[in-house]
Amino acid sequence: MTKIKAIIFDLDGTLANTLPLCIAAFRRSIEPLIDRSLSDEEIIATFGPSEEGTIMALAPEHYEKGVSSYLKFYKELHAMCPTPFEGIEDLLINLKDKSVKIAMVTGKGRYSTDISLEQFGIGKYFETIETGVSAGPRKAEGIQNILDLFEDIRKEEIIYVGDAPSDITASRKVGIPVVAAAWAETAEPDKLKELCPDMLFDNIRDFSHWLTLRI
């Protein structure tokens, strides 16, 4: 059994139930600017780039106001998601105790990532963090940057953990194993299964147990 020496986590829907918060903040910030309502589906369809990319797609004529308003509401509404998923911080502590390297690659922008990590108090566990950009998805690029940083660790000793189909395809592109996180209310397990991740878990307890045997 190959030992896992490094883990790269996604944030939204993987470490915490932040997707409903993101949608609420987009709605509060963008709807007044474009003078119409937005469905969850319409907002989610723009995901991939950072929040700045979403605002550029939905309210291009109000970009700067949209970004500042989004970040304001994202912070104000964070009480919707006050903590990470139950068991996540204990898992991060255990990984640190076992000297497993921990990184993050998220599609979120830097500012909203910092807001959430400050809220959760878990930023200290991550050796490095790659965030999203407005131009488009960069998960594969972000993962590759982590691989370059952890150059003493072989690809088969690193796993990515994420809740989206795009997390699986990005991991495959750079050639590392991927664990599908299907424990959020927003997860779509059937779509994840179609892409054949190395493992899929619908709860953190089982994932933690599986991981403990491999570190």
For 34-77, the DSSP string reads: HTS---HHHHHTT-SS-HHHHHHHH-GGGHHHHHHHHHHHHHHG
Looking at residue 91, its pLDDT comes to 98
Backbone φ/ψ region at 87: left (φ over 0), alpha (ψ -120 to 50), beta: left
CA distance 112 to 115: 5
Give the model's pLDDT for residue 105. Answer: 97
- Residue 178 to residue 121: CA distance in whole angstroms: 25
> Which class in CATH covers the domain with range 6-17+83-212?
alpha beta
Q: Is 35 left (phi over 0), alpha (psi -120 to 50) or beta?
A: left
Residue 1 has pLDDT above 90, yes or no: no
What's the number of CA atoms in the CB half-sphere (13 Å) around residue 110? 4
User: What is the identity of the amino acid at 93?
Assistant: I
pTM score: 0.93
Q: Which positions ≥6 away from 62 have C-beta within 8 Å?
A: 30, 33, 34, 55
Tokens representing 206 are: 């089982």
Residue 75 confidence (pLDDT) above 90: yes
pLDDT of residue 167: 95
Confidence bin at 160 (pLDDT 50/70/90)? very high
Does the pLDDT at position 83 exceed 80?
yes
- Residue 182 pLDDT grade (very low, low, confident, very high; cuts 50, 70, 90): very high
Q: How confident is the model at residue 135 (pLDDT cuts 50, 70, 90)?
A: low
pLDDT confidence band for 134 (50 / 70 / 90): low
